[in-house]
Amino acid sequence: MDAQGPGRRRVPNRLSAEDDALNQIAREAEARLAAKRAARAEAREIRMKELERQQKEVEERPDKDFAEKGARNLPGLSAATLASLGGTSSRRGSGDTSVSLDTEASIREMKDLSDLRDQVQDVEGRCMQGLREMKDSLVEAEDKYRKAMVSNAQLDNEKTNFMYQVDALKDLLLELEEQLAEAQRQHEDKSRVRAPRAHRRAG
């Protein structure tokens, strides 16, 4: 007799839906990481352009300051006139001192700027290292999550299979009990028919 009675539940297969959900999570995580990398690259490019601009200004400042100071100290005098004048050694000495001080200040500023750039690069390197470690940790966590989800889906599928088998065994047991009851009923009917005959033969 067939044990597959009506109303028997089928085993739902949800692995495809779980895989789709996990793939969607992975795609969203990769998109977020790509956006963060693009933002970091853009910020780094902006910082480098700003540092280059500042360094260029520092390099151009000594010549600009010297020209402005010369124009203020000696208005209306051409280079030829200055060369023909006597007694200008003290004025030139003062100008040389001013240029020397400006040059030293510019050198200090350039050194400070270089130190600042080194510090920025060091901080950026540490940040990049931290981001790489965070990315590795995120990938590892996502892999563990994916495996856990797959394992849970497999366990749920196995549980459903077991429940289906239990239901099938219950149905089979019920059918066997019905067959046994029917056999007992038929045996009792036959026994009641045979009992009077045996009694008459004995009499």
pLDDT confidence bin for 90, thresholds 50/70/90: very low
CA 78 to chain CA centroid, Å, is: 67
Q: How far is CA 68 from CA 31, 64, 85, 93, 118, in A?
A: 54, 6, 21, 17, 32
Which ranges in 74-88 belong to alpha helices (H)? Answer: 79-84
143-168 pLDDT per residue, tens: 999 999 999 999 999 999 999 999 99
φ/ψ region of 7 (left if φ > 0, alpha if ψ in -120 to 50, else beta) reads left
> Is the predicted pLDDT of residue 134 greater than 60, yes or no?
yes
pLDDT confidence bin for 20, thresholds 50/70/90: confident
Supply the Cα-derived Rg of the chain in whole angstroms.
Answer: 48
Rounded CA-CA distance 41/119 in Å is: 18
Rounded CA-CA distance 61/68 in Å is: 10
pLDDT confidence bin for 116, thresholds 50/70/90: confident
pLDDT confidence bin for 172, thresholds 50/70/90: very high
CA 96 to chain CA centroid, Å, is: 59
Rounded CA-CA distance 203/200 in Å is: 5
Q: Decide: helix, strand or coil at residue 22.
A: helix
> Is the predicted pLDDT of residue 107 greater than 70, yes or no?
yes
Nearest to 146 by CA among 12, 14, 20: 20
- Contacting residues for 29 by C-beta, under 8 A, at least 6 apart: 138, 142
Domain boundaries, the chain: 19-74+91-202
* pLDDT given at position 145: 92
pLDDT confidence bin for 182, thresholds 50/70/90: very high
* pLDDT given at position 159: 92
pLDDT confidence bin for 8, thresholds 50/70/90: very low
> Is the predicted pLDDT of residue 87 greater than 50, yes or no?
no
